[in-house]
Amino acid sequence: MDISQSALLLLSWACMVCASNNDEYCCGKIYPDSPVLELDREFTATCVLSTRGKQETHATADDIDWMFKNYLVPKEYYTRINDSAVSMTVNITRKLESPLKCYVSMPHGLPSRIVHGMFFTVGHAPEKPENVSCIVAQSGEDLSPIMKCSWSPGSRDPILPTNYTLCGYVGLTNQICNSSSERHIGLLDFNTMPVYLSVEIWVEAKNQLRTVKSDVLTVYPEEIVKTNPPRDIEVVSEKGFPTSLLVRWNHSITWPDFELQYNIRFCAAGAHVWSEVPPNDTVGYINSFRLQYLKIYADYIVQVRCIMDTGLGYWSDWSQNVTGKTSEAIPSSRPELWRVIISPEGSHEKLVKLMWKEPIRPNGRILEYNLTIQKDGKLESFQLSSSHKAEYILEKVKSRVDVQITARNSVGVSPPSHLIVSGSYREPSPVMTVKWLTQNGSLWVLWEWTLPNPREFVLEWVSVSDGFMDWQTEPGYARNASLKGNLQPFKRYNVSVYPVVRGRPEKPQTVAAYLQQGPPSEGPSVKVTRHGKTEVELEWEPPPVDSLNGCITKYTVFYKTGGIDLPPSVTSHTLKQLSSDSEYVVHVMVSTVAGSINGSDLTFKTLKYASGEIEGIVVIVCIAFLFVTVLMVLCCIKKKEMIKKHIWPQVPDPSNSTIANWSPEFPSRPDTPKEGSLTDVSVVEVDVFEKKSLGEEDKTSLPLKKDKYLSEEHSSGIGGSSCMSSPRQSVSDSDEGDSGQTTASTVQYSSVVASGYKGQTPAPLPPTFARSESTQPLLESEDHHDDPHGCDAQRYPRNPYFRRPRTVNEGGVPPLMLHQIEIAEQSSSSLGFSAVEEGPQQATPSTEAGLSEGPAGSAPSYMPQQSGYRPQ
């Protein structure tokens, strides 16, 4: 019991206490107080406030509200009747749940107060029963006293409990009604069936909402009778009538004036399609019938039923199955005969296995076979029982063999089958093409044949898995056939079609076929047969035949860039346009019409260099190196003089110098002092880079000074004589730092002519300048005059060199632009020498004294040319 029911009970109890001496409810009441509401119908309820309720609640009709459980009915469905009554009209649906309550709203925020409530159920009224029909069954030899009727109660579920009552009225006063526990079937028991009297039948359906009645059905019991099937049925074959069966039976009921008519149906044993005898063939009150045009020596199943001869009433049920077999006849077809050559091909003596099957239409049970063999001009005959294995081995067959066989049953002998066993076929095969398909669970073979038609075709199929072989024959006009052997799904069979022309098998055509195909159970295994830089060749073996489960439709090669479809005959493929020195994963998928499966993955890596590429690079490099070598050799040959000068510099030979041919107007040098006498020689050492000790005039003459004199054995360039008579260290011995700095430059020697003393008065005669045409290169000690570094203190002293004291630049001409060297005579009897040491050494006192003498006292000396030959 839920909370709403409990609250309603408490409210009812409170109202009863309040009005113990008053007939009115304490607050009000709902009218009508109906416990059952009909679905999909409008329902109107009225809530009336009692006088006491109005006094206690001080409410009016405007304060009344309606509610279904948790659903508040909107105000637009209300109708105000007076000050104390309000009605509500709604369409009843399954969403409106019990209970229904009306309550009043209290003023001053007090909780609402329930006036009255009711619990209800919903449902449909019963539909009118339709299609009332009745039947009277047979009980034993008489009619049953019980009439069975049925009707249609309608498609709608009433939800509410509904009772169905079947009623019958016989004559004027006898009415029988029987309540049925089922919705659509009922029984009426008349004790004795009122045959030849009319009976009125109807059905009543009733529930809490209403009662409905069907239309009245008037029937005569004898017109609604359903008898039992015929009794004692038997099927008999007759000798001499191999294509017919005789069917006999007894009547199921023997009432007077009750005559029946019969219906017969039959089918071959194992078949599922019945053949009925036309009703016109069984008219009359009969108890036997002959079935004709049946197969010889075949089993048939027969059933019989009956109905009133007037056609009224109902057919009886079919009788139980009764089986009969037609009688035997002479076999009407030949036995099937075939051969298999089981010896190796090319052998002179063949081993042939003969096989046969019983005739397609044996027309009885085959008892024995008569096998006749004509071999090498000899005729042999064998009587073989039907229980014997249906094969015979011919050994040492070298030439043509004629074979004939017949089959015999209890009635007679079949026509013979003839076969010629030969070791060769005629070319080409008369069979053009062979195809296959599956249909309705059977394997069909289709072929095309060139005219004329053969006597017959032999279809031979061999299982590739286990070698099982079977065969069958088809007539010569056939172009397709269904294989009738025990074929297995997912197994490959090699089906061959042999045309047999005049008993000789011709060359066959063979095709691989499947009764049912499935997806492969194993994929191909792929391998790489040839590597390349941008391509590889793949090869794979097809999966085993037992793993294919169908005919291969295609191979698909999957790798990094996608898939490639290939025909089933292809088992290798070359992947091209690959990246060099890259790794790829590839697998091959095999497909049949029923599905696909992937093979195992194979990982391979392309080569970094193509085949022969390394050899090509080596050849190209060698050729290039050879070319460069040859080119360098040619250049060396062509430029050998220049190379010679750079590698082996030309050492100047003072004896070949043209300076000895100059003709100065005064002696180029003073007389050599005699040995043992002292000469007035002042030696001055001046650092050419110590500019502070020089005057401005001397600074301009620094570029003209040679800073390196390496050997006394070299000529000074004046008159071809040496400055000192004693030998000194050579260039390579005295100066390691400048050993690599040699020159092959040629310079023009200058001739020195006498000039007047440069003093305060200009010279009376201008100096002259004579150029020598000598191409003799300068000495190394004369050429490296730009070396900014001095030799260190450990170096050997440099060769003495003629030098004149620095003089003030006269006439404003820069020392670098001098084109002649002027030498001023200081005295005719003495010549000053200056020894210059390379390096940052301090000048000796004698040198400083010489410099301090001033330009007037300086004697002219040879100045080396710094920049080599200057073109004039």
Q: Which amino acid is at 516?
A: Q
Question: Of 469, 445, 467, which Cα lies nearest the Cα of 457?
Answer: 445
Mean pLDDT value across residues 95-116:
83
Contact 802, 716 (CB under 8 A): yes
Q: Where are the domains of the chain?
A: 3-123, 130-225, 227-325, 330-397, 525-605, 650-872
Query: What pLDDT is stored for residue 13 in this prediction?
Result: 42
Query: What pLDDT is stored for residue 26 in this prediction?
Result: 56
Asked if residue 449 has pLDDT above 90, the reply is no
pLDDT tens-place string over residues 121-171: 999 999 999 999 999 999 888 889 999 999 999 888 888 899 999 999 887
- Upstream peptide bond of 489 is cis (omega within 30 degrees of 0): no
Query: What pLDDT is stored for residue 744 in this prediction?
Result: 38
Mean pLDDT value across residues 93-119:
84
Could you give the strand order of the β-sheet that contains 288-291, starting from the edge strand earlier in sequence? 231-238, 241-250, 288-291
Query: What pLDDT is stored for residue 702 in this prediction?
Result: 41
Q: Which residues of 105-136 are buried (b: 16+ CB within 10 A; e: fewer)?
A: eeeeeeeebbbbbbebebbbbbbebeebebbb
Residue of 655 and 825 predicted with greater confidence: 655
Residue that the structure tokens 């191409």 belong to = 775
Helix (H, G, I), strand (E, B) or coil at 294: coil
Q: Which amino acid is at 389?
A: K
- H-helix or E-strand spanning residue 613: helix 613-638
Q: Which residues of 461-495 are buried (b: 16+ CB within 10 A; e: fewer)?
A: bbbeeeeebbbbbbeeebeebebebebeebbbbeb
Residue of 228 and 430 predicted with greater confidence: 228
Asked if residue 673 has pLDDT above 60, the reply is no
d(CA 361, CA 341) in angstroms, rounded, equals: 28
Mean pLDDT value across residues 795-805:
41
Query: What pLDDT is stored for residue 672 in this prediction?
Result: 53
Q: Which residues contact 188 (CB under 8 A, 6 or more apart)?
A: 134, 146, 147, 149, 166, 168, 176, 178, 201
With cut-offs at 50, 70 and 90, classify the pLDDT of residue 828: very low
Please give the share of the chain, as a percent, with pLDDT higher than 70: 71
With cut-offs at 50, 70 and 90, classify the pLDDT of residue 669: low
Query: What pLDDT is stored for residue 628 in this prediction?
Result: 93
d(CA 7, CA 815) in angstroms, rounded, equals: 140
d(CA 665, CA 534) in angstroms, rounded, equals: 91
- Upstream peptide bond of 670 is cis (omega within 30 degrees of 0): no
d(CA 791, CA 512) in angstroms, rounded, equals: 106
Q: How many CB atoms lie under 10 A from the CB of residue 205?
A: 23
Asked if residue 858 has pLDDT above 50, the reply is no
d(CA 375, CA 615) in angstroms, rounded, equals: 73
d(CA 381, CA 579) in angstroms, rounded, equals: 77
Query: What pLDDT is stored for residue 239 in this prediction?
Result: 85
d(CA 418, CA 427) in angstroms, rounded, equals: 22
Q: How many CB atoms lie under 10 A from the CB of residue 507?
A: 15
d(CA 53, CA 25) in angstroms, rounded, equals: 8
Question: Of 755, 747, 766, 773, which Cα lies nearest the Cα of 662?
Answer: 773
With cut-offs at 50, 70 and 90, classify the pLDDT of residue 866: very low
Q: Which residues contact 70 (CB under 8 A, 6 or more apart)?
A: 97
With cut-offs at 50, 70 and 90, classify the pLDDT of residue 567: very high
Asked if residue 709 has pLDDT above 60, the reply is no
With cut-offs at 50, 70 and 90, classify the pLDDT of residue 400: confident
Lowest mean pLDDT among 62-76, 347-361, 547-561, 814-828: 814-828
d(CA 240, CA 809) in angstroms, rounded, equals: 169
d(CA 418, CA 406) in angstroms, rounded, equals: 9
pLDDT tens-place string over residues 296-327: 999 999 999 999 888 889 999 999 999 999 99
Burial classification of residue 620, based on how many CB atoms lie within 10 Å of its CB (0-12 exposed, 13-18 middle, 19 or more buried): exposed
d(CA 324, CA 245) in angstroms, rounded, equals: 7
Q: How many CB atoms lie under 10 A from the CB of residue 202?
A: 20
Q: Cα 745–750–754 angle (5° rounding)?
A: 160
Phi, psi of 475 (to 5 degrees): -65, 160
Phi, psi of 659 (to 5 degrees): -65, -20
Q: Which residues contact 832 (CB under 8 A, 6 or more apart)?
A: 681, 682, 684, 804, 805, 826, 850, 858, 859, 861
d(CA 178, CA 518) in angstroms, rounded, equals: 63
Residue of 398 and 771 predicted with greater confidence: 398
Q: Tell me how far CA of residue 532 lies from CA of 537, 579, 585, 620, in angstroms.
A: 8, 10, 15, 21
Mean pLDDT value across residues 693-708:
42
Residue of 718 and 478 predicted with greater confidence: 478
Query: What pLDDT is stored for residue 645 in this prediction?
Result: 77
Query: What pLDDT is stored for residue 678 in this prediction?
Result: 46
Q: What is the pTM of this model?
A: 0.51
Both tokens of 234, joined, read 């038997």
Question: Of 278, 228, 289, 233, which Cα lies nearest the Cα of 258?
Answer: 228
d(CA 732, CA 649) in angstroms, rounded, equals: 13
- Upstream peptide bond of 673 is cis (omega within 30 degrees of 0): no
Both tokens of 616, joined, read 């090509």
Query: What pLDDT is stored for residue 613 in this prediction?
Result: 80
d(CA 148, CA 189) in angstroms, rounded, equals: 9
d(CA 127, CA 212) in angstroms, rounded, equals: 7
- How many residues are present in the chain? 872
d(CA 236, CA 405) in angstroms, rounded, equals: 34
d(CA 254, CA 230) in angstroms, rounded, equals: 11
- Upstream peptide bond of 499 is cis (omega within 30 degrees of 0): no
**What is residue 256's DSSP assignment?**
T
Query: What pLDDT is stored for residue 195 in this prediction?
Result: 85
Both tokens of 272, joined, read 């599922």
Q: Tell me how far CA of residue 470 lies from CA of 336, 354, 636, 694, 738, in angstroms.
A: 12, 13, 94, 132, 111
Identify the architecture of domain 130-225 in CATH: Sandwich (2.60)
Identify the architecture of domain 525-605 in CATH: Sandwich (2.60)
Furthest C-alpha separation in the chain: 201
Asked if residue 804 has pLDDT above 80, the reply is no
Asked if residue 112 has pLDDT above 70, the reply is yes
pLDDT tens-place string over residues 741-787: 433 344 444 444 444 444 444 444 544 444 444 454 544 444 444 44
Mean pLDDT value across residues 682-706:
44
Both tokens of 731, joined, read 């260039």
Query: What pLDDT is stored for residue 24 in this prediction?
Result: 40
What is 227-325's CATH number? 2.60.40.10
Query: What pLDDT is stored for residue 205 in this prediction?
Result: 94
Question: Of 514, 511, 341, which Cα lies nearest the Cα of 432?
Answer: 511
pLDDT tens-place string over residues 582-629: 899 999 999 999 999 999 999 989 888 877 888 888 899 999 999 999
d(CA 257, CA 475) in angstroms, rounded, equals: 58
Domains 3-123 and 130-225 share a fold: yes
Residue that the structure tokens 């015979």 belong to = 392
Residue that the structure tokens 């030309």 belong to = 650
d(CA 464, CA 484) in angstroms, rounded, equals: 18
Q: Tell me how far CA of residue 843 lies from CA of 684, 693, 711, 790, 801, in angstroms.
A: 8, 10, 21, 13, 16
Query: What pLDDT is stored for residue 757 in this prediction?
Result: 44
With cut-offs at 50, 70 and 90, classify the pLDDT of residue 405: very high
Which residues lie across from 802 on neighbouring strands?
A: none
Per the prediction, the chain carries an average pLDDT of 76
End-to-end CA distance of the chain: 142
Asked if residue 861 has pLDDT above 50, the reply is no
- The string of DSSP letters for 741-756 reads -----B---EEE-EE-
Mean pLDDT value across residues 710-734:
37
Mean pLDDT value across residues 647-664:
68
Identify the architecture of domain 3-123 in CATH: Sandwich (2.60)
**What is residue 156's DSSP assignment?**
S
User: From start to end of 720-798, where are the E strands?
Assistant: 750-752, 754-755, 769-771
